[in-house]
């Protein structure tokens, strides 16, 4: 055996002993990985021995190469065996440390609940979608024309008072009703029209039954031969869908600048067995001809009805809430009560 062959063989045996000794003392998977890189990695010691084969003669190279390969396979087998043992030990340790004490009380998963206002909006728009209405979402920052003039509000109407409306620079304002969406919709669509407009509105009010920001849903129908009978049937059908088939409602004469004749609709709200009261729930009426003219619709050919309701007021009736401000106090204890809440009793 030449000197170079003897030297390489000695290195192979020396490496074999070093690997065996190192593996006997390895304590965890991190140390094992470090040993794998040190001996079996691309720049490891066994890889260096394989590169040394190039300096041997053609006769000696196969024999010494076989020794290097045996060393590589032996080291790899030992590493995998120890890896399996260490992984089993680590798993056993984790199972002991992370064991569950089944005598402890369970943890409840806290799930969210839809806000009652959102529930009402989805139910109301769902009813009108089934009736064939479009759903139209419009702007909340509006100008005077679409919020007042096009809806037949004279300049001295109380709704224009600074105590009622939030005015902005540049002749803009925060809309005080979603009726602005009806005007935009009539400008963009030709009759016949069936649409409801849900959204936020703003008025300078704040007390147990009023908020400075609240939600409305307004509806509009424009077609030929529309009468109060069509309006009455639509609203009675809608209210029974929302509050139940035994719902009692009544129409009272009223006044709105954009409808003529106009009516307010009340529901009978049972506060206790055999006791209750009428509660105003929405306003409605036949569309004033001036509103149709403002949208380039001929009132001699077309007629229509409109209605509007406060979503928070519907929620108060549905869930028996005495103070409207409760809906926006963001008290999770209050809001979670509406998950699966039963409807208020309306007879």
User: Where among 41, 63, 97 does a domain terminate?
Assistant: 97
User: Is residue 269 situated within a structural domain?
Assistant: yes
Burial class of residue 327 in the structure, from the number of CB atoms within 10 Å of its CB (0-12 exposed, 13-18 middle, 19+ buried): buried
Do both 167 and 310 map to the same domain?
Answer: yes
Residues spanned by the domain of 250: 116-338
What pLDDT is recorded for position 65? 75
Do both 73 and 168 map to the same domain?
Answer: no
Mean of the pLDDT values across residues 52-56?
71
Are the C-beta atoms of 261 and 228 separated by less than 8 Å?
Answer: yes
Is the pLDDT at 60 greater than 50, yes or no? Answer: yes
User: Is residue 86 situated within a structural domain?
Assistant: yes
Burial class of residue 124 in the structure, from the number of CB atoms within 10 Å of its CB (0-12 exposed, 13-18 middle, 19+ buried): buried
Phi, psi of 342 (to 5 degrees): -80, 155
Do both 166 and 255 map to the same domain?
Answer: yes
Do both 157 and 241 map to the same domain?
Answer: yes
The larger pLDDT score, comparing residue 75 to residue 183, is at 183
Domain CATH code at residue 168:
3.30.930.10
Report the mean per-residue pLDDT for the chain.
84
The single-letter DSSP state of residue 302 is -
Do both 42 and 85 map to the same domain?
Answer: yes
Model confidence over 163-196: pLDDT tens digits? 578 888 988 999 989 999 999 999 999 999 999 9
Do both 210 and 323 map to the same domain?
Answer: yes
pTM score above 0.75: no
Out of 112-121, 168-177, 250-259, pick the least confident: 112-121
Do both 189 and 285 map to the same domain?
Answer: yes
Model confidence over 313-328: pLDDT tens digits? 888 888 877 778 888 8
Q: Name the band, by pLDDT with cuts 50, 70 and 90, for residue 264.
A: very high
What pLDDT is recorded for position 207? 62
Do both 172 and 207 map to the same domain?
Answer: yes
Do both 57 and 199 map to the same domain?
Answer: no
What pLDDT is recorded for position 4? 58
Do both 229 and 161 map to the same domain?
Answer: yes
DSSP string, 186-228: HHHSPSSEEEEEEEEEE-S--BTTB-SEEEEEEEEEEETT--H
Number of domains, the chain: 2
What pLDDT is recorded for position 251? 95
Are the C-beta atoms of 304 and 223 separated by less than 8 Å?
Answer: yes
């Amino acid at each position: 055996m030449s000197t170079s062959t003897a030297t390489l063989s000695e290195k192979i045996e020396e490496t074999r002993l070093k690997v065996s000794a190192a593996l006997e003392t390895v304590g965890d998977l991190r140390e094992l990985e470090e040993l794998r890189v040190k001996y079996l990695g691309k720049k490891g010691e066994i890889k260096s021995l394989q590169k040394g084969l190039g300096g041997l003669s053609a006769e000696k190279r196969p024999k010494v190469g076989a020794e290097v390969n045996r060393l590589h396979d032996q080291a790899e087998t030992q590493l995998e065996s120890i890896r399996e043992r260490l992984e089993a030990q680590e798993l056993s340790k984790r199972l002991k440390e992370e064991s569950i004490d089944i005598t402890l009380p369970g943890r409840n998963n806290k799930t969210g609940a839809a806000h009652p206002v959102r529930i009402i909006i989805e139910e109301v728009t769902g009813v009108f979608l089934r009736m064939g209405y479009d759903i139209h979402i419009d702007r909340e920052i509006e100008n005077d024309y679409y919020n007042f003039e096009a809806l037949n509000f004279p300049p001295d109407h109380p709704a224009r008072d600074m105590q009622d409306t939030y005015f902005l620079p540049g002749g803009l304002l925060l809309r005080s009703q979603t009726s602005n969406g009806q005007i935009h919709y009539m400008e963009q669509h030709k009759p016949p029209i069936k649409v409801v407009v849900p959204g936020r509105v703003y008025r300078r009010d704040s007390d147990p039954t009023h908020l400075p920001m609240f939600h409305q849903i307004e509806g509009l129908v424009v077609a030929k031969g529309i009468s109060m009978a069509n309006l009455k049937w639509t609203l009675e059908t809608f209210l029974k869908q929302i509050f139940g088939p035994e719902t009692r409602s009544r129409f009272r004469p009223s006044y709105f600048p954009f409808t003529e004749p106009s009516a307010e609709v009340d529901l009978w709200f049972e506060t206790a067995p055999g006791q209750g009261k009428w509660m105003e729930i929405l306003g409605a009426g036949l569309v004033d001809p001036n509103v149709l003219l403002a949208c380039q619709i001929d009132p001699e050919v077309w007629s229509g009805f409109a209605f509007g309701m406060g979503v928070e007021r519907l929620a108060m009736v549905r869930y028996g809430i005495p103070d409207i401000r409760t809906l926006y106090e963001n008290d999770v204890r209050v809001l979670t009560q509406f998950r699966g809440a039963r409807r208020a009793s309306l007879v």
